[in-house]
Structure 1
């Protein structure tokens, strides 16, 4: 039995026996801090085998997301990241069972699907936007890669010298994951060069449709008018630790400048693209601080205690489409156990 399956079974047991609520009250009574949730997309995909984009970017269906936001509204205290910074900078505690909702990248469905649900439940949120894609007719590079691999007529592709089969959707998804993992290890601009080489090899062009596209400027403004805070997710979504110093500074400062110009609001929060431990080392965190951000989020699960949290490496619970509702509740109730 895997660690994940043990935790899933435990979460199901807690839900079945009615112990979830007492656990949440007990755990949060002894912990001063905030649970931050990390979403990417809220979208109804239909059969996953027919979904040509990156299925792993789908955090929840609209129905699941609605149920999750109802859970937060009924049993937790939803807060925005600005409130987190405001209180912590003054040495003040957050309300008990504080939960913050965030989104990475800036997909259009954050506005068309997630926003109405957030507003219905009165949940504040932060959408971290890659500014260079706003209003673009080009998909995010990582989602474009998935689309090329999932729809190409080619039967194979070469990744780091190894030939991968593309003969069925399962093999295509495995190849896509391997390709993405390889790209994340490459220095800039080698990553971009490899992307172009694969485009030539598998013979696909960018194809943007309503199934996956970045926010338009109108949709970005709709988020702001709907009470959603906008944070930076850089300009072009590189792995910042793979950038030289000049590129790192430009990605952090230009994205902030562009988003402030688009929204008319200050941009003070940041989410590191990819966001794992090797994507935001000391050099990256210091560059974020120097660029004027107040808080920055990683993509590492866990809980953020007021007195010990690194304000430039805040932990976030990763919400994935395969997480059932009991597991979601457990991730809120006891975040250091259910990651």
Structure 2
């Protein structure tokens, strides 16, 4: 039993007998310790979040690090990778036990408590970060569950016929909901936190409180300067066994891209969320390799034998890390702690027994992915007939009906959800899109405003609300939305440029200037193309909740070739699944362009604008690509289409001026160069083109004097 082993560890450590075991040959073992959170020294400390992720306090961690420093070989990520030669791991030449220290998730105490201790003892570690947690400043789902239940003031709660007393069963309730998140398919738990908040009648934790729990990128960058390697813990920390292989690939690629962009260092390691073997899939290792990782770490899978280590299922232990006595004995005599024996290493995937509602829902998802909308609608309808409270099935039914043009039925299904749970930002957003499609603009505005009120950082809702304000000729409100979106995402250079242009327009022409409409048109599509927006929106939901994040990073970032190749495979897979989705072709065009494969890029941009002629960014990229290849006549045809949108893009008009000059269309050259200069008077390139035209006119006049 574990208690007896802890007692033995205490006896051996306190009597210094543990040092005798250091003489045993330990070169064949690698012990990787998996920490999460550390408590401060305060004996009165308590948390409003999950108690289960706190391993120990600062003093105890300092004792452990000191012991490990003096009695083991603590390897860095780089040193561990250096041990991998010709397909096998070779142990370092030392008689001391080999140890790696790791932390998961990205909590602030990793910086405030653990980092100073590691830095003082000059001990390396690997910190695995869930990037959405850092970017969005949101605590992870297990902490939200614990917080909601701890704050629940009701005497009891009931969830799907499962009762819990809030006087005596709060810990049981926390464990119940956390296990559901680990075991149920993602589509079944997507709204579980909101449902739990409704049941508990408690609001989500205060954003400021959440922010204080989470690392910042500045803190992470500082740690990289002092022997702390940063690895991926995926993007959203979704349990990999609950999502599709493509979703796993997205999680791994997106997290890697974000960390490399923020730290300027390559990311070579990933730890799988809740990484026991039951919570990963047979595809996970191959996906990690294809995403560009060199090492993949599991959780609570035991101790490694050097020569049998598999690089994408490296074993770690998070157990028995509470005391220096157990950590010391674990490192010098790991065989003593083969608790659960083979069960720790080989846990079979739990068989699921879906209800009829689940079966219909999953079949609907498959049909939606295949583009078989009618079959998808039929199956989602059967799912909600079997379980009228099946929120995600009803949402998918609503957006499928919208895609099929059955807008009244779509709205009815979404309103059914709001009758039960009025604080669903996503549902208000979907209804805003649907009412806009029906040209019921006041209702659309009402729901989009509610979405933004519930989630003030809902960028898509804010921008679409700006479009509708333009439709209502409320231009000041439209500009407010543009400014608000800009504050949410200051790294979006396109959005910042549009914001600056909008502010210039208002300063020049006043608040009631209709010229604001093209700003939104250039960014998210023409305001008279809401049907197209709905179509793209529905397709996007059936693909991936991370797609917008991936697109934004890929558009603006500079990446190694291997990262681009991983992204290329991901989007080629999506193209095969969703051949009618213009965003997929657009992103493929961007990736091919970054890889220097220009014919492929041209083809993809061409397909993107064929599918959606109002896709401004795709057409601009196609225009520039054609111009750079000296395909000037084709380029200006696309340029003229863009000109009709009255975009405030000086680069576009300068490019048109250059293309027209190359075709000896000098009057048009002069017109476009002047237009670029009018938008940006300091535009040197446009002035140079204009000078060339003037030089040509001077030459003609000199050659043909009156």
TM-score when normalising by structure 2: 0.45
Is 1:138–1:206's contact at 8 Å kept on the other side of the alignment? Answer: no
Closer, same or farther: CA 260–282 of 1 in aligned 2, 3 Å:
same
* 1:25 aligned counterpart, secondary structure: coil
Q: Name which of 61, 64, 72 aligns with 1:65.
A: 61
Q: 1:231 to 1:106 in 2, by over 3 A?
A: same
State the secondary structure of the residue aligned to 1:38: strand
- Answer yes or no: is the 8 Å Cα contact 2:138–2:211 preserved in 1: no
For 1:82, which of 78, 84, 91 is the aligned residue?
A: 78
Contact 1:140 1:214 in 2 (8 A): no
Query: What residue in structure 2 maps to residue 198 of structure 1?
Result: 196
Give the corresponding residue for 1:207: 206
SS in 2 for 1:296: strand
Task: Write the mapping of 1:227-238 to structure 2, written as runs, cut at 5 A.
Answer: 227-238=227-238
Bigger mean CA deviation after superposition, 87-96 or 298-307: 87-96
Aligned equivalents of 1:338, 1:311: Cα separation in 2: 23
Query: Any residues of structure 2 matched to 1:274-313 within 5 Å, and which?
Result: 274-313=274-313
Q: Shift of residue 337 of structure 1?
A: 2.0
**1:162 CA displacement:** 1.0
* Alpha-carbon separation, structure 2, partners of 1:309 and 1:160: 43
8 A Cα contact 1:159 1:178, kept in partner: no
Larger relative contact order, structure 1 or 2 (CA cutoff 8 Å, min sep 6): 1
The answer on 1:143 being equivalent to 2:139 is no
Match of 1:272 in 2: 272
Shift of the 316–79 alpha-carbon distance from structure 1 to 2, 3 Å rule, reads: same
Rounded Cα–Cα distance in structure 2 between residues aligned with 1:211 and 1:59: 21
Tell which deviates more after alignment, 263-272 or 307-316: 307-316
- Residues 271, 142 of structure 1: alpha-carbon distance in 2 compared, 3 angstrom cutoff: same
Q: Which is strand-richer, 1 or 2? A: 1
Note the alpha carbon deviations across 1:32-56, whole angstroms, 9 max, x for none.
2321000001122756784211111
Which structure 1 residue ranges, 5 or more long, are not aligned?
none
Give me the whole-angstrom Cα distance separating, in 2, the residues matched to 1:204 and 1:9: 43
State how many pairs are aligned: 332
Structure 2 match to 1:324: 323
SS in 1 for 2:164: strand
Change (3 A) 1:290 1:135: closer
Structure 1 residues 65 and 311 mapped into 2: Cα distance closer, same or farther (>3 Å)? same
TM-score (norm 1): 0.91
Pair 1:25–1:280, CA change in 2 (3 A): farther
- Counterpart CA distance in 2 for 1:14 and 1:45 is 26
Q: Determine if contact 1:40/1:105 at 8 Å carries over to the other structure.
A: yes
1:250-261 equivalences in 2 (<5 Å)? 250-261=250-261
Q: Secondary structure at the match of 2:158?
A: strand
Secondary structure (helix, strand or coil) at the match of 2:190 reads helix
Bigger drift between 193-202 and 61-70 goes to: 193-202
Counterpart in the other structure of 2:665: none
Please report how far the alpha carbon of residue 300 of structure 1 lies from its aligned counterpart in structure 2 after TM superposition. 2.0
Greater than 6 Å deviation, 4+ residue runs: none
Larger mean CA deviation between 119-128 and 216-225 belongs to: 216-225
Of residues 92-101 and 260-269 in structure 1, the stretch that sits farther from structure 2 once superposed is 92-101
The corresponding residue for 1:175 is 173
The 2-side partners of 1:159 and 1:277 are apart by 28
In 1, Cα distance between the equivalents of 2:297 and 2:193? Answer: 27
Residues 10 and 142 (structure 1), Cα distance of their counterparts in 2 relative to 1, 3 Å cut: same
Q: Name the CA distance, whole Å, in 2 between partners of 1:111 and 1:308.
A: 34
Query: 1:247 and 1:114 mapped to 2: Cα distance?
Result: 32
Q: Which residue of 1 aligns with 2:183?
A: 185
> For residues 286 and 15 of structure 1, do their structure 2 counterparts lie closer, same or farther at Cα, with a shift above 3 Å needed?
same
TM-superposed deviation, 1:204: 2.4
> Which of the pair has more CA radius of gyration?
2
- Residue 153 (structure 1) shift: 1.9
Q: Which residue of 2 aligns with 1:152?
A: 152
Give the Cα–Cα distance (whole angstroms) in 2 for the partners of residues 309 and 139 of structure 1: 33
Greater per-residue helix proportion:
2
Q: Following the alignment from structure 1 to structure 2, what is the Cα–Cα distance between the partners of residues 65 and 306?
A: 26
Q: Corresponding residue for 1:113?
A: 113
Residue 159 of structure 1 deviates from its aligned partner by 4.4
Question: In the TM superposition, what is the alpha-carbon distance from 1:298 to its structure 2 partner?
Answer: 0.6
SS at match of 2:178: helix
Aligned CA distance change for structure 1 residues 50 and 39 (closer, same or farther; 3 Å): closer
User: CA contact under 8 A between 2:33 and 2:102: conserved in structure 1?
Assistant: yes
TM superposition shift of 1:129: 0.3
Shift of 1:157: 2.8
Q: Which residue of 2 aligns with 1:337?
A: 336
- More displaced 10-residue stretch of structure 1: 4-13 or 35-44: 4-13
SS of the counterpart of 1:196?
helix
Change beyond 3 A, Cα 1:67–1:44: same
Residues 276 and 158 of structure 1: CA distance in aligned 2, closer, same or farther (over 3 Å):
farther
* Partner SS for 1:336: helix
Give the conservation status (yes or no) of the 8 Å contact 1:236–1:251.
yes
Specify the SS of the correspondent of 2:296.
Answer: strand
Shift of 1:178: 1.7
User: Distance between the aligned counterparts of 1:272 and 1:280, measured in 2?
Assistant: 7
What CA distance in whole angstroms lies between the structure 2 residues aligned with 1:245 and 1:261?
Answer: 24
Distance in 2 of aligned mates of 1:99 and 1:175: 36
1:176 partner SS: helix
Q: Secondary structure at the match of 1:103?
A: strand
Q: Is the 8 A contact 1:34 1:303 kept in 2?
A: yes
For the 8 Å contact 1:139–1:207, the answer to whether it is kept is no
Q: Distance in 2 between matches of 1:271 and 1:109?
A: 19
Are residues 229 and 160 of structure 1, via their aligned partners in 2, closer, same or farther at CA, if it must alter by over 3 Å?
farther
- Distance apart, 1:225 and its partner CA: 2.1
SS of match in other structure, 1:307: helix
